[in-house]
Amino acid sequence: MYALFEFSPVAFCISTTDEPSYYVRVNSAYLRLFGREWSEIEGQPISLHMASSPDSPARMRRMHQLATVGFYELEEVDLRHTSGHIVPTLISAHRCVVGGASVDIEIIVDNTDRKALENAIRQAAHTDSLTQVANRAGFEGLLARAIETKSPTEAIGLAYIDLNGFKAINDQQGHAVGDAVLRIVGQRLGEAIRGNGQVGRLGGDEFAILFHVPDSDLPKQERFEDLAEALCQPIVLGDSVLNIGLSMGVAVMDAPRNLDHLLNQADDLMYEAKAGGGPIAIRLVHFSAPDETNTADRG
């Protein structure tokens, strides 16, 4: 039995059942998983490798289950390697009596590869494969979180962009050229924002930018004129020089009700800008009250 414990490729940990809980014994796989020697952790509290507080709600729930039911299975728990990095794990535990003493026996599976795969799948599901910016689902998720976490002293801004002249390029030059133009626009947007916002492709030739606005720093029309100029620089593809324009609606809202409220306001402003004509047209409105009819600070 000792050989099965010691040489198992799966990490085992035996600890006391009191609080704080202390190491009784671990196997070699456990020591490898966390980059430790037994002499370093013998007699130490098992919180040594916890990534969160020992009295976190998740751990308290697991401890309650051990105390009342006697076991739990395949719980996702983040632990900490001796180097400091997080080790995602799956833990199953059983409370039993060994040699007259009550102990908790944990079986710990390294979940790093599975979590990395899940994250990659999640990222792919929320990323536009052509431009590598957020797709509509990903962008709407970012927007919803921004609205939920918005502080009372800031506003949320959304720039809704529709490319002018893109359809003609796509029809006359072909889809491969059209795709190249969209990739370049996505790249230019990312470079222009430089971490001061989040970019998404909403579909076709429509893009959007999400940004936070401190109450004392409302954006001016010039900011978006500069952005439009950067995006609409001539695009050189082989021997061709292609020109695009854009229509942009920018809604800055102190109290958006939800993501559709903000998206619809910015979309309406974009169509107002487009109706005004011209290769580059921008419509900026600051909605300073929850009432969507408030159009103070029109740019």
- Catalytic residues, by residue number, are 205
Cβ–Cβ contacts within 10 Å for residue 296, how many? 9
Buried b (16+ CB within 10 A) or exposed e, 154-182: ebbbbbbbbbbbbeebbeeeeeebbebbb
Token couple for 126: 């929320």
Spatial separation of the C-alpha atoms in residues 69 and 297, rounded to whole Å:
62
